[in-house]
Amino acid sequence: MKLSIVIPVFNEEKTVEEIIRRAQDVDVGLEKEIIIVDDGSSDSTQQILKGLNHPQIKIIYHDKNQGKGAALQTGFSKATGNIVLVQDADLEYDPRDYPKLLEPILDGRADVVFGSRFLGGPHRVLFFWHYVGNKMLTTLSNMLSNLNLSDMETCFKVFRKDLLDQINLKSKRFGFEPEITLKLSKLKCRIYEVPISYSGRDYSEGKKIGWKDGVAAIIHILRFKLFK
């Protein structure tokens, strides 16, 4: 068994080396590869990545910024593992949670695992309205997918690679989260959630997602439910 860790990166010069180190250091009992997709960074991220030289790491560069969804599609296409895990390039999501994320797939219970920020794991206290917005999006997604997820928008998603290969992804930006969720529900696959820790950032620390992304997510949820 082999784990492919896909990390989309955009202007994360302060954190990208540390998140790669943490992903390398965590012991999951499997062979690992780390696939980094730089999505047209304009800070020093690319220079940092070009200084890395490790056989476990693959780095792909987009000539211009296309969005998280596009970066993930590129990373998925290069993954050679049996299991694929999505990791953001900031330090909000902790690679030490990998073993608990992988367990339901490795023991044969699950095809997909979502890491939920709302099932009791330690988390930094931050924005109330972000929490409300997340719950609204998750509820709308659940209504249309007939799932009972607690955190549809979580970064931590783990897939069997053969299942992921059946899904034709379209979203280029943050629409990836609702799109993959709706399409997984249509495949009737076994989805599990596990609690994770969460060290959220505020905007002064580099957080990028805003209210416009929430509106776009609503549009994507309706789009991928109502249209093929």
Residues in the chain: 228
What is the tens place of the pLDDT at every residue in 71-126?
999 999 999 999 999 999 999 999 999 999 999 999 999 999 999 999 876 666 66
What Cα–Cα distance (Å) separates residue 59 from each residue in 4, 51, 145? 13, 11, 34
User: What pTM did the predictor assign?
Assistant: 0.87
* Model confidence pLDDT, tens digit, residues 27-53: 999 999 999 999 999 999 999 999 998
Going from N- to C-terminal start, the domains of the chain cover 2-226
Q: What whole-number distance in Å separates Cα of residue 211 and Cα of residue 188? A: 31
Could you give the maximum distance between any two Cα atoms of the chain, in Å? 46
Task: Return the CATH number of 2-226, one of 3.30.43.10, 3.90.550.10, 3.40.50.360, 3.40.190.290.
Answer: 3.90.550.10
165-209 tens-digit pLDDT: 999 999 888 789 999 999 999 999 999 999 999 986 554 555 556
Task: List the 191-195 sheet strands across, edge first.
Answer: 57-62, 31-39, 2-9, 83-86, 157-160, 112-116, 191-195
